[in-house]
């Protein structure tokens, strides 16, 4: 078996973009050629549209950080998501975006992470019970379980109630169908199919989701005082919906309208569970595929539990997670190899240059973490799984000066600059909790009969699930083995830093 974990190998170079679009109807990876992983900037013209793929780190920073006003989100981002998320933060630009961002940032303050921790714990405990029940039945579908646990986390943290019943299952299945269709609609738009027809095609799956979320918000907004998740005598919001309702623009004092809340919560459901499910599914695959990494992570978890007060079989606490530097490196390396949002699109508002290539006004500029994070000029052995790349400031770790440089300049799973994901620390906390509790209780083994088939649509997912086998471990039978203690650099512990 090759030491590289699976990935869809890019096709040989073809200048025929129509053929690439045909491949792209199934998965965005179909658009890519081998060549794209070697060049700084790629440019082509197709049906009157200028398309650029930007890989060179200084040009990427130009688009996403230093000249960000010249490269707003492309209008395709808005219309492809509009039936589902309306005019929520992700796809709008300018003053409309800035106001929403001020409110969302308030709702995602670091203190909020500690407040939602019990809700995350509840969802993870429910997931462990489900896994326990499946262990003796042969291989499990880790992708399905990660989708369920992340959906449960987002429902509990936004609405303070668990995900239950057929109604909720139906809602999350509709999300999955929406994202499958959205990827296809984007390719069809390149072929100039009318926007209204494509939006109607997407809307059928969006309507039940929006109605379900609107009903939950209306219940909260009309609940008599004292029946909200925030009783009158409690000054702090207890869930994200309360935090969004309470958020106020410091300049104008305005908050979200009722319709604005529906848009925002629809987006947070999508962003909060699809991305984390994608990353966690791939992390479980990697742990099964690389037993030595799994062993080291487990050793770190047991050492942290042993080094702090409390019984060693207690659940992992908020502070424990902050000690898992190797765990954070494993998750970062998973995000490098399998970035859940594998491409972003922007529109240039100026005639300019990007790394020496001409970028005309109105060009569609693509930045792809998938390409940049596997680019052979940015990373040594770009397709290999080596979590220690991210222990960059740790003496004695097998990382090169190049790794140190690129871990900062060519790593953008959460985006960069002012539009960087405000949910990054939330996602990191959730992922570490899920993975640490998983390796503590089970040994994850690969299923030799199964290979995930990756497709990139709105997010990166495996078309045929991720099958692994689990073997139960005893929580008390092992003493904490010696794990090398490492302190991760601060930027890595707090991925929200620009």
Binding site for ligand HEM (CB under 6 A): 89-90, 101, 104, 268, 271-272, 275-276, 279, 340-341, 344, 413-415, 419, 421-423, 426-427
Chain centroid, CA 123 distance in Å: 18
Our CB check for ligand HEM shows the closer of 113 and 302 to be: 113
| CA-angle at 430, arms to 425 and 433, nearest 5° | 125
Paired tokens of 441: 């209780």
Selection from 4, 5, 123, 28 nearest residue 371 by Cα: 28
d(C-alpha 104, C-alpha 243), whole Å: 9
The residue among 80 and 421 lying less far from ligand HEM, judged by its C-beta, is 421
Residue placing its CB nearer to ligand HEM in the complex, 5 or 415: 415
- Taking the complex as a whole, how short is the minimal distance between the CB of residue 150 and ligand HEM, in angstroms? 8
How far apart are CB 482 and ligand HEM at their closest, in Å?
Answer: 31
In whole angstroms, how close is the CB of 235 to ligand HEM at the nearest point?
23
Residue whose CB is less far from ligand HEM, 190 or 344: 344
Nearer of residues 373 and 392 to ligand HEM, judged by Cβ: 373
In the complex, minimum distance from the CB of residue 315 to ligand HEM, in angstroms, rounded to a whole number: 21
Q: How far is the CB of 20 from ligand HEM (least distance, A)?
A: 22
Give the CB-nearest residue to ligand HEM: 423
Query: Closer to ligand HEM at the Cβ: 156 or 467?
Result: 156
CB of residue 246 vs ligand HEM: minimum separation in angstroms?
Answer: 17
Nearer to ligand HEM, 101 or 130 (CB): 101
CA–CA separation, 422 and 106 (whole Å): 10
Closest CB 461 distance from ligand HEM, rounded Å: 13
Cβ neighbours of residue 189 closer than 8 Å, sequence gap 6 or more: 76, 80, 195, 198
Nearer to ligand HEM, 421 or 483 (CB): 421
Closest to ligand HEM by CB, 378 or 394: 378
How near is the Cβ of 64 to ligand HEM at its closest, in Å?
A: 7
Q: How far is the CB of 366 from ligand HEM (least distance, A)?
A: 11
- CB-nearer residue toward ligand HEM: 302 or 436: 436
For residue 277, the minimal CB distance to ligand HEM (Å) is 9
């Amino acid at each position: 078996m090759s030491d590289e974990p699976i990935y869809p190998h890019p096709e040989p170079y073809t200048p025929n973009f129509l053929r690439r679009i045909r491949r792209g109807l199934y998965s965005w990876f179909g658009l890519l050629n081998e060549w794209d992983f070697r060049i700084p900037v790629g440019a082509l013209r197709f049906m009157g549209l200028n398309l650029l793929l930007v890989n060179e780190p200084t040009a990427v920073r130009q688009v996403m950080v230093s000249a960000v006003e010249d490269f707003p989100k492309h209008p395709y981002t808005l219309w492809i998501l509009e039936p589902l998320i309306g005019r929520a933060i992700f796809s709008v630009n300018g003053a409309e975006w800035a106001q929403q961002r001020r409110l969302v940032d308030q709702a995602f303050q670091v203190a909020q992470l500690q407040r939602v921790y019990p809700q995350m714990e509840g969802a993870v405990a429910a997931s462990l019970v489900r896994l326990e029940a499946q262990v003796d039945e042969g291989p499990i579908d880790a992708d399905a379980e990660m989708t369920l646990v992340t959906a449960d986390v987002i429902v509990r943290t936004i609405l303070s109630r668990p995900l239950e019943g057929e109604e909720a299952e139906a809602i999350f299945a509709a999300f999955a169908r929406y994202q499958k269709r959205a990827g296809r609609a984007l390719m069809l738009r390149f072929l100039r199919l009318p926007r209204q027809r494509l939006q109607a095609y997407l809307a059928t799956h969006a309507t039940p989701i929006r109605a379900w979320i609107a009903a939950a918000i209306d219940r909260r907004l009309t609940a008599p005082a004292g029946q909200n998740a925030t009783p009158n005598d409690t000054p702090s919001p207890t869930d994200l919906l309360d935090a969004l309702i309470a958020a106020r623009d410091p300049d104008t004092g305005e908050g979200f309208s009722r319709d604005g809340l529906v848009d925002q919560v629809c987006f947070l459901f999508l962003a909060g569970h699809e991305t984390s499910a994608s990353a966690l599914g791939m992390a479980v695959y990697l742990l099964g595929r690389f037993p030595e990494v799994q062993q080291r992570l487990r050793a770190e978890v047991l050492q942290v539990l042993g080094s702090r007060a409390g019984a060693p079989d207690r659940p992992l606490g908020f502070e424990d997670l902050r000690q898992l530097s190797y765990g954070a490196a494993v998750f970062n390396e998973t995000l490098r190899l399998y970035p859940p949002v594998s491409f972003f699109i922007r529109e240039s508002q100026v005639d300019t240059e990007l790394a020496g290539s001409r970028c005309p006004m109105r060009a569609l500029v693509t930045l792809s973490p998938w390409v940049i994070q596997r680019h052979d000029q940015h990373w040594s052995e770009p397709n290999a799984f080596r979590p220690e790349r991210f222990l960059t400031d740790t003496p004695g770790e097998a990382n090169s000066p190049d790794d140190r440089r690129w871990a900062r300049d060519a790593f953008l799973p959460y985006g960069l600059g002012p539009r960087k994901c405000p949910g990054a620390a939330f996602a990191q906390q959730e992922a570490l909790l899920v993975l640490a509790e998983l390796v503590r209780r089970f040994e994850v083994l690969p299923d030799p009969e199964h290979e995930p088939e990756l497709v990139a649509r709105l997010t990166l997912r495996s078309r045929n699930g991720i099958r692994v086998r689990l073997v139960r471990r005893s929580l008390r039978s092992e003493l904490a083995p010696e794990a090398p203690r490492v302190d991760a650099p601060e930027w890595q512990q707090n991925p929200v830093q620009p």
